Structure 1
Amino acid sequence: MPTLNKLSSILIAVTLTACTASPTGRNQVLLFSDSDMSSLGAQSFEQMKQQQPISKDARVNAYVQCVARSVTQHVPKQASFDDWEVVVFDSDQVNAFALPGGKIGVYTGLLNVAKNQDQLATVIGHEIAHVLADHSNERLSQSQLASAGLQITNVALGSSDYAQYRNVTMAALGLGVQYGVLLPYGRSQESEADIVGLELMANAGFDPNQSVSLWQNMAAASGRNQPPELLSTHPSHKTRIQDLKSTIARLPTTDTTRPNCEK
């Protein structure tokens, strides 16, 4: 089976040469350069700005910009971009995001749940942490490896006695890959972003204890709509709050001046 052996060798070689460690020491495989990811993030952000309404509320924009700027001022300088761009999208979504290339999006709906500057800083710090920890690169790389893995499996099945079951087997593998690799930001990545993001916002002078209040607000807002933790890429609210409390207890004290961002 020369084709299978060749594909397997390529996959192993790529995995070994691209292996690295995340900020919390978790093993990662990153196949793409920082410049490639930054370019992808910038392009995606431009499309979003064209397709989604942007808030024109000067007070809301000033508030979000103040919180974001306070956090990013304490983020290490990145090699692939110079400045963080922040845009407030006019939407009821309770969400925010950060993309490679220093792009941050905050939806106005989030401000109904993140009640103060500390809670908003928790979310922004969390999203920035995804970028600093190369989670988008990791997810995209996993997708590439998953595709390669499916090709290898397809070759193996094609030469086996079980070729008649190929469609069923590939469908099962597709479902497994979908839940195991391709869904956005798995629970380990979300938990990692919680830890790194909490450190970022605390270093910026925000109150890390408000992160617990934020997720209590999130739990109240989601009610019974959150799926079971087993089927969700996010930790359950209860798990998240417990982990945040443990992280807060380990945070060093900081002498950073507390920001004063008025909502």
Structure 2
Amino acid sequence: MKAIRIVLMSLVATILVSCGTTSTVPITGRKQTLLVSDGEVLSLSSQQYSQYMQSAKASTNATNTAMVKRVGQNLANAVTSYLNSNGLSAETQNYAWEFNLVQDKQVNAWCMPGGKIVVYEGLLPVTQDEASLAIVLGHEIAHAVAKHSAERLSNEYKNQYGTAILGAVVQGAGVSEKTQALLSLGQQLGGALWTSGFSRKQESEADHMGLVFAAMAGYDPQVAISFWQRMAAQSSGSGGLFSDHPSDETRISDIQKWMPEALKYYTPKTTTTKTTTKTTKTTKKTSNTKKTSSTKK
């Protein structure tokens, strides 16, 4: 009877984990299984985003705020065009793009499902120019397009199923309480390792997609290498066993590997605008020169 019970519980686990819809991530072509719908994720993220913006302080630097919105919208337009051109026009309905610069010294930016993106002022001294900012925003947009939040939520459901089923199976097998505790600890550690490893894969995928998105929007993807070198110089993280981000060395190496692909999409359309408090330096790439507030054609 115990053996039959174990088999039945294992069968239930297989059925639960195999439920959901399978989709393909744009650019990378990776297959993913989602146990939650777009509507569920967008509803949750919208609530969290609204709560955050109620407490956040918007940047008072009009020039930098305009730059973030301009670069972000250029990327959003390029991504929308790509999705429409590749039979994914239905996906564009999930996005209501919004780009905000807030007063925070952290070197960070993030994106909610649905295209709500926040950039911290502390990031701009590291990006230094529009092209590097496009690399960051492309990365954040990629998280939304690849539905990474829905995928993580789906995996949390899978982990919950796995933990509950493991407990039932172990108890049904007559395992001692001490052994059950050890198995439970092993399950937690294994889950933490798997989750961090999965997060690194998502971050790497966002780097890949973001590089291509930046190129599609007319920003030189080659600036990504120097940008991540600057990030590495001011950070102490090194992507350990439980780290949820790739190491700086791995990140730069991967970007160099993806660069030929990104350059296929690159047609210079903009200039690089330095982020400074006194002067603005522009680099002419083509006969079209993009200024801080407008584009002269």
* 2:29 is the alignment partner of 1:20: no
Deviation at 1:215, TM superposition (A): 0.2
Q: Is the 8 A contact 2:67 2:292 kept in 1?
A: yes
Change (3 A) 1:136 1:39: same
Partner SS state of residue 55, structure 1: coil
* 2:260 is the alignment partner of 1:258: no
Q: Any gaps of 5 or more consecutive residues in structure 2? A: 81-88, 272-289
Change (3 A) 1:7 1:87: farther
Distance 1:47 1:158 in 2: 42
Change (3 A) 1:72 1:207: same
Structure-2 residue corresponding to 1:143: 156
Change (3 A) 1:230 1:174: closer
Partner SS state of residue 23, structure 2: strand
Deviation at 1:227, TM superposition (A): 3.6
Deviation at 1:120, TM superposition (A): 0.6
Q: Is the 8 A contact 1:191 1:240 kept in 2?
A: yes
- Equivalence map 1:85-96=2 (5 Å): 85-96=98-109
For each residue in 1:22-68, what CA deviation from the matched residue of structure 2 results, as whole angstroms up to 9, or x when unmatched? 33233322111111111112111111112332223222211111111
Question: Is 192-201 or 9-18 further displaced after alignment?
Answer: 9-18
Change (3 A) 1:124 1:158: same
Distance 1:61 1:184 in 2: 35
Q: Is the 8 A contact 2:13 2:165 kept in 1?
A: no
Partner SS state of residue 20, structure 1: strand
For each residue in 1:84-134, what CA deviation from the matched residue of structure 2 results, as whole angstroms up to 9, or x when unmatched? 011212101111111111211111111011111011100000011011111
Give TM-score scaled by structure 1 length: 0.90
Question: Is 143-152 or 1-10 further displaced after alignment?
Answer: 1-10
Structure-2 residue corresponding to 1:105: 118
Structure-1 residue corresponding to 2:260: 249
Q: State which of 211, 230, 237 in structure 1 corresponds to 2:241.
A: 230
For each residue in 1:162-181, what CA deviation from the matched residue of structure 2 results, as whole angstroms up to 9, or x when unmatched? 23221232122112212312
Q: Which amino acid aligns with 1:115?
A: Q
Change (3 A) 1:93 1:64: same
Structure 1 residue runs of 4 or more that deviate by more than 4 Å after TM superposition: 1-7
- Equivalence map 1:160-199=2 (5 Å): 160-164=173-177, 165-181=179-195, 183=196, 186-199=199-212
Q: Which amino acid aligns with 2:172?
A: S
Larger Rg: 2
Distance 2:197 2:61 in 1: 31
Distance 1:96 1:3 in 2: 48
Deviation at 1:82, TM superposition (A): 4.9
Partner SS state of residue 157, structure 1: helix
Distance 1:155 1:45 in 2: 38
Distance 1:73 1:11 in 2: 42
Q: Is the 8 A contact 1:38 1:80 kept in 2?
A: no
Q: Any gaps of 5 or more consecutive residues in structure 1? A: none
Partner SS state of residue 237, structure 2: coil
Question: Is 251-260 or 155-164 further displaced after alignment?
Answer: 251-260
* Aligned positions, number: 260
Structure-2 residue corresponding to 1:211: 224
- Percent identical among aligned pairs is 34
Q: Which amino acid aligns with 1:232?
A: S
